[in-house]
């Protein structure tokens, strides 16, 4: 990729393993759950990246590792060319201003005993303890306006707000420190459809206005379509495909991406009626015991011997996008 | 090749809900979760009730099954083959539940008893409702597990729920729901808690069962994609009321209510190539304790005008298509 600017974030061969106790009472064993199994990508400043995958694919672990909340087992995260996990606690704390997160459950991520104004002001109080009260209030009100909340709601409590409004508070809290990268971990999954679109549009506007780098995590491809310039599809701790949205939505190259596309129901009865083909996806194997070689091979109709032997690496196929499949250039995904 | 539309067989009226109201006493006042709702289902038909949170769709289902929370009260009538479910005693409704009307819920994990094997949970139903011997019941349970594509049912039936994946748990619940061949299956957000590929499989399974078994399904969901693939008829609810009810194609291709139209537009579309815009509905979902006067949608409606300060009545705009709106919606896209 010939980006003129150097990447703001570089994730290199990231592995995160969690020890899990298994076995019976007298034969305790510790197995490693491989939540991330060699993930690499980079992001340009001001870019928006969508990360999509089903439960257990490692997308939330990746978010935590990028924010420095999770120590990697191997590999590293370079934030503006500096390895995030080797920083001293003080430096890391400084960097936290630049790295913010928006959570999935907007109501649960707000302290019910704090007023909206206090919630949004808290990061400022933490990082700038000497900031004047008046100045804080001014910043908070400005931020509330920016996320579409009336500043006179300052003294309300979260329970007085709807889910969509709570998510706006979460966004305001994340943006008040002027971060450079915001990770949104399924920010709209628990919201109604009509409100989802509001929040996505808001994030999209703010990203442009503030030239933020934005990571938008979701479990289905339809939600990230509008906001992500590039989309990364993950499965069992690995990246299956990483491509600009123009490519991934018109011509998915990985069998798993194609499955994810087909699985999304289309709100058009005619289209759905014609989707009568028998399609089985198979169950996702346990991340404690992932298949050898390509982790998707147990669910892939095109899997051959080589898929069990070698782990496919992300490679370029003509376009800008990259795909981790040995046979991506041979198979016809429409054939299924 | 496009398949011909499977028309709902002209069956007799299975469920007739009239003037259904669900009220909850809360500290802040009485909440009217469902407001004078009328609808009916004929046998073999799949009716989808669509709405966002707080629209009253789940409370409608719970009221029919007499499963409302302790502070809730249902009024009106819900006649199942002519018998009002709302007036039934606990013994009577228990006969109906499981045997004639089965229900599956959103979260499969919390619907299954973690301390009992799948076998015990399935057999319990048949022994209780069908007075079957355990041996016969076991055979029937295995047959149902096979029907919902549980691999190796002989082994699987002896396992506990935690040994199943979320998708398999939901299949087991569907199998359990269908054990007594109920006339009506109420499915409350059956796909919401699942991964997309699993959702798709559950949706396909439900469609297959619907075609094979002639069970009527009352599908409660917010997912219009699932509705498009499963429903024969769609009822759209907003703030506890019916706003539009029509055959599935009418709702999707000729929506009359501004809310229905806006909701359809708000769904992000994977099939619209090159379209990266999202179309939200402005404003917030209605607060049932503080509804605007007149049409509850008017504060968010792009078409609202003076008359909307008065509550529109439900009327039939074309045969089988009812609408609660002052506009006739013909021009709405």
A267, A271, A276, A278, best to mutate vs chain B, most B CBs in 10 Å: A267
CB-based contact B52 A194, cutoff 8 Å: yes
Structure tokens at B158: 């002896």
As a whole number, the mean pLDDT across chain A is 92
Kindly state whether residue A105 falls inside one of the protein's structural domains.
no
> What is the 3 state secondary structure string of chain A?
CCCCCCCCEEEEEEEEEEEEEECCCCCCEEEEEEEEEEEEEEECCCCEEEEECCCCCCHHHHHHHHCCCCCCCEEEEEECCEEHHHCCHHHHHHHHCCEEEECCCCCCCCCCCCCHHHHHHHHHHHHCCCCCHHHHHHHHHHHHHHCCCCHHHCCCCHHHCCHHHHHHHHHHHHHCCCCCEEEEECCCCCCCHHHHHHHHHHHHHHHHHCCCEEEEEECCHHHHCCCCCEEEEEECCEEEEEEEHHHHHHCCCCHHHHHHHHHCCCCCHHHHHHCCCCCCCCCCCCCCCCCCCCCCHHHCCCCCHHHHHCCCCCEECCCCCEECCCCCCCCCHHHC
Asked if A71 has any chain B CB less than 8 Å from its own CB, the reply is no
Judge whether B189 and B222 are in contact, CB under 8 Å.
yes
DSSP code per residue over B268-293 = --TTSTT-----PPPS----TTSPPS
My answer on whether A164 and A66 are in the same domain is no
CB-based contact B197 A197, cutoff 8 Å: no
How far off is chain B from A294, nearest CA to CA, in Å? 19
Distance in angstroms (rounded) separating the CA atoms of residues B50 and B255: 13
Show Cβ contacts of residue A254 under 8 Å, excluding neighbours closer than 6 positions.
A233, A240, A241, A296, A323, A324, A325, A328
My answer on whether A202 and A275 are in the same domain is yes
CB-based contact B196 A196, cutoff 8 Å: no
Structure tokens at B120: 């015990």
Asked if A249 has any chain B CB less than 8 Å from its own CB, the reply is yes
Q: What are the backbone dihedrals phi and psi of residue A307, each rounded to the nearest 5 degrees, phi first?
A: -65, -25
What does the pLDDT read at residue B241? 97
Chain A contact set for B229 (CB, 8 A): 265, 269, 272-273, 275
CB-based contact B52 A269, cutoff 8 Å: no
Q: How many CB atoms lie within 10 A of CB B271?
A: 13
Asked if A1 has any chain B CB less than 8 Å from its own CB, the reply is no
What does the pLDDT read at residue A175? 97
Distance of CA B83 to the CA centre of its chain: 21
My answer on whether A15 and A87 are in the same domain is yes
Nearest to B288 by CA among B238, B325, B323, B326: B238
Q: How many CB atoms lie within 10 A of CB B315?
A: 11
My answer on whether A185 and A60 are in the same domain is yes
My answer on whether A170 and A196 are in the same domain is no
Q: Which residue of A has its CA nearest to B233?
A: A269
Count of domains observed in chain A: 2
Nearest to B257 by CA among B208, B315, B218, B191: B315
Over residues A140-158, the pLDDT tens digits come to 999 999 999 999 999 999 9
Asked if A29 has any chain B CB less than 8 Å from its own CB, the reply is no
Strand, coil or helix: what is B188? strand
Chain A contact set for B264 (CB, 8 A): 267
Kindly state whether residue A66 falls inside one of the protein's structural domains.
yes
My answer on whether A190 and A325 are in the same domain is yes
Over residues A23-42, the pLDDT tens digits come to 777 888 888 899 999 999 99
Kindly state whether residue A3 falls inside one of the protein's structural domains.
no
Q: How many CB atoms lie within 10 A of CB A334?
A: 6
Q: Is the pLDDT of residue A138 over 90?
A: yes
Kindly state whether residue A32 falls inside one of the protein's structural domains.
yes
CB-based contact B2 A259, cutoff 8 Å: no
What does the pLDDT read at residue A22? 79
Over residues A7-25, mean pLDDT: 90
Structure tokens at B32: 């009217």
What's the pLDDT band for A59 if we cut at 50, 70, 90? very high
How far off is chain B from A134, nearest CA to CA, in Å? 30
Q: Is the pLDDT of residue A2 over 50?
A: no
Nearest to A283 by CA among A295, A298, A301: A298
CB-based contact A267 B227, cutoff 8 Å: yes
CATH number at residue A252: 3.40.50.300
Q: Are strands B321-324 and B241-247 parallel, antiparallel or unpaired?
A: antiparallel
* Number of residues written out for chain B: 333
Alpha-carbon Rg for chain B, nearest whole angstrom, is 21
What does the pLDDT read at residue A335? 73
Kindly state whether residue A215 falls inside one of the protein's structural domains.
yes
ipTM of this complex: 0.88
> How much of chain A exceeds pLDDT 90, in percent?
81
For chain B, where are the E strands, in sequence order? 13-26, 29-42, 46-50, 72-80, 83-84, 101-104, 184-188, 216-221, 233-238, 241-247, 314-318, 321-324
Chain B contact set for A272 (CB, 8 A): 225, 228-229
My answer on whether A35 and A129 are in the same domain is no
Kindly state whether residue A119 falls inside one of the protein's structural domains.
yes
Q: What angle do CA B112, B158, B154 make, to 5 degrees?
A: 120
Alpha-carbon distance values, A116 to A103, A174, B270, B282, B284 (Å):
16, 13, 36, 22, 17
Chain B contact set for A270 (CB, 8 A): 2
My answer on whether A325 and A274 are in the same domain is yes
Chain A contact set for B46 (CB, 8 A): none
Show Cβ contacts of residue B114 under 8 Å, excluding neighbours closer than 6 positions.
B160, B161, B162
Over residues A31-56, mean pLDDT: 94
CB-based contact A260 B197, cutoff 8 Å: yes
Nearest to B2 among A265, A268, A274 (CB): A274
My answer on whether A71 and A201 are in the same domain is yes
Sites in chain B below the pLDDT cut of 50: 1-9, 332-333
Q: Is the pLDDT of residue A278 over 70?
A: no
Chain A contact set for B5 (CB, 8 A): 273
Distance in angstroms (rounded) separating the CA atoms of residues A14 and A12: 5
Scanning the structure block, which residue is given the tokens 């699942």? B194
Kindly state whether residue A104 falls inside one of the protein's structural domains.
no
Chain B contact set for A273 (CB, 8 A): 2-3, 5, 229
Asked if A265 has any chain B CB less than 8 Å from its own CB, the reply is yes
Show Cβ contacts of residue B21 under 8 Å, excluding neighbours closer than 6 positions.
B32, B34, B35, B36, B37, B74, B75, B76
Nearest to B207 by CA among B9, B14, B46, B2: B46
Nearest to B223 among A226, A259, A265 (CB): A265
Over residues B83-107, the pLDDT tens digits come to 999 999 999 999 999 889 999 988 8
Over residues A292-314, mean pLDDT: 94
Nearest to B278 among A201, A275, A283 (CB): A201
Compute the count of residue pairs across chains A and B with CB atoms less than 8 Å apart: 145
Nearest to B266 among A194, A274, A284 (CB): A194
CB-based contact B200 A283, cutoff 8 Å: no
B1, B163, B208, B280, best to mutate vs chain A, most A CBs in 10 Å: B280
Terminal C-alpha separation, chain A: 31
Show Cβ contacts of residue B134 under 8 Å, excluding neighbours closer than 6 positions.
B123, B127
How far off is chain A from B160, nearest CA to CA, in Å? 16
CB-based contact A196 B277, cutoff 8 Å: no
Asked if A269 has any chain B CB less than 8 Å from its own CB, the reply is yes
Nearest to A193 among B201, B249, B267 (CB): B267
CB-based contact A194 B195, cutoff 8 Å: no
pTM for this entry: 0.90
Set out the domains of chain B in order of their start, with CATH numbers.
13-100+184-278+314-324 (3.40.50.300), 109-179 (no CATH)
Structure tokens at B82: 């002519």
Kindly state whether residue A106 falls inside one of the protein's structural domains.
no
Q: Which domain holds residue A127?
A: 112-178
- Chain A from 291 to 310: CB within 8 A of any B CB: none
My answer on whether A63 and A119 are in the same domain is no
Distance in angstroms (rounded) separating the CA atoms of residues A167 and A181: 18
Q: Which residue of A has its CA nearest to B231?
A: A269
Asked if A154 has any chain B CB less than 8 Å from its own CB, the reply is no
Terminal C-alpha separation, chain B: 28
- Chain A from 197 to 226: CB within 8 A of any B CB: 197-198, 200-201, 219-223, 225-226
Q: Which residue of A has its CA nearest to B227?
A: A267
Chain A contact set for B2 (CB, 8 A): 270, 273-274
What's the pLDDT band for A277 if we cut at 50, 70, 90? low
My answer on whether A270 and A200 are in the same domain is yes
What does the pLDDT read at residue A27? 82
My answer on whether A165 and A183 are in the same domain is no
Strand, coil or helix: what is B238? strand
CB-based contact A273 B229, cutoff 8 Å: yes
Judge whether A325 and A255 are in contact, CB under 8 Å.
yes
């Amino acid at each position: 990729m010939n980006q003129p600017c150097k990447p703001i974030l570089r994730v290199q061969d990231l592995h995160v393993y969690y020890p899990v106790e298994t076995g019976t009472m007298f034969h305790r064993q510790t197995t490693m759950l491989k939540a991330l199994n060699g993930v690499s990508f980079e992001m340009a400043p001001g870019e928006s990246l969508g990360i999509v995958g089903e439960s257990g694919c490692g997308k939330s672990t990746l978010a935590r590792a990028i924010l420095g909340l999770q120590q990697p087992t191997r590999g590293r995260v370079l934030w503006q060319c500096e390895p995030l996990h080797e920083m001293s606690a003080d430096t890391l704390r400084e960097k936290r201003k630049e790295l913010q997160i928006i959570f999935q459950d907007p109501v649960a991520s707000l302290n019910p005993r704090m007023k909206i104004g206090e919630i949004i002001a808290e990061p400022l109080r933490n990082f700038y303890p000497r900031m004047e009260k008046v100045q804080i209030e001014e910043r908070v009100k400005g931020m509330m306006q920016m996320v579409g909340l009336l500043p006179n709601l300052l003294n309300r409590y979260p329970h007085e707000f709807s889910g969509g409004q709570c998510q706006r508070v979460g966004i305001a809290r994340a943006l008040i420190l002027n971060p450079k990268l915001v990770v949104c971990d399924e920010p709209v999954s628990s919201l109604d459809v009509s409100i989802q679109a509001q929040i996505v549009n808001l994030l999209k506007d703010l990203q442009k206005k503030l030239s933020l780098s934005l990571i938008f995590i979701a479990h289905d491809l339809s939600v990230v379509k509008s906001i992500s310039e590039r989309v990364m599809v993950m499965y069992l701790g690995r990246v299956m495909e990483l491509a600009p949205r123009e490519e991934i939505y018109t011509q998915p190259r990985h069998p798993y991406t194609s499955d994810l596309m087909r699985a999304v129901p289309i709100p058009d009865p005619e289209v759905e009626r014609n989707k009568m083909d028998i399609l089985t996806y198979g169950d996702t194997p346990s991340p404690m015991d992932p298949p050898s070689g390509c982790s998707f091979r147990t669910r892939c109709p095109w899997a051959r011997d080589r898929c069990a032997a070698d782990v496919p690496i992300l490679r370029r196929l003509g376009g800008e996008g990259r795909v981790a499949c040995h046979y991506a250039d041979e198979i016809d995904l429409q054939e299924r | 090749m496009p398949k011909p539309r499977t028309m709902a067989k002209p069956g007799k009226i299975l469920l007739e809900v009239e003037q259904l109201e669900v009220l909850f006493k809360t500290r802040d006042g009485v909440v009217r979760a469902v407001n004078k709702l009328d609808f009916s289902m004929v046998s073999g038909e799949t009716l989808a009730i669509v709405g966002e949170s707080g629209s009253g769709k789940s409370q409608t289902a719970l009221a029919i099954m007499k499963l409302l929370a302790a502070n809730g009260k249902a009024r009106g009538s819900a006649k199942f083959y002519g018998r009002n479910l709302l007036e039934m005693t606990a013994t009577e409704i228990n006969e109906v539940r499981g045997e004639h009307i089965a229900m599956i819920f959103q979260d499969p994990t919390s619907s299954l008893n973690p301390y009992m094997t799948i076998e015990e949970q399935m057999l319990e139903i048949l022994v209780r409702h069908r007075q079957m011997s355990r041996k016969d019941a076991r055979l029937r349970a295995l047959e149902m597990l096979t029907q919902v594509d549980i691999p190796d049912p002989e082994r699987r039936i002896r396992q506990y729920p935690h040994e199943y994946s979320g998708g398999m748990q939901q299949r087991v619940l569907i199998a359990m729901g269908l054990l007594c061949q109920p006339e009506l299956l109420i499915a409350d957000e059956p796909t919401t808690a699942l991964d997309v590929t699993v959702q798709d499989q559950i949706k396909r399974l439900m469609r297959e069962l619907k075609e094979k078994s002639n069970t009527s399904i009352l599908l409660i969901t917010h997912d219009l994609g699932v509705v498009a693939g499963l429903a024969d008829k769609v009822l759209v609810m907003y703030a506890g009321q019916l706003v539009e009810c029509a055959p599935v194609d009418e709702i999707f291709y000729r929506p009359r209510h501004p809310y229905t139209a806006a909701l359809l537009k708000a769904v992000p579309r994977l099939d619209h190539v090159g379209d990266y815009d999202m179309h939200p509905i402005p404003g917030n979902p209605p607060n049932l304790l503080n509804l605007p006067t007149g049409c509850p949608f008017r504060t968010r409606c792009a078409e609202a005008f003076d008359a909307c300060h008065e509550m529109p009545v439900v009327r039939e705009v074309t045969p089988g298509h009812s609408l609660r709106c002052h506009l006739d919606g013909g021009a709405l896209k």
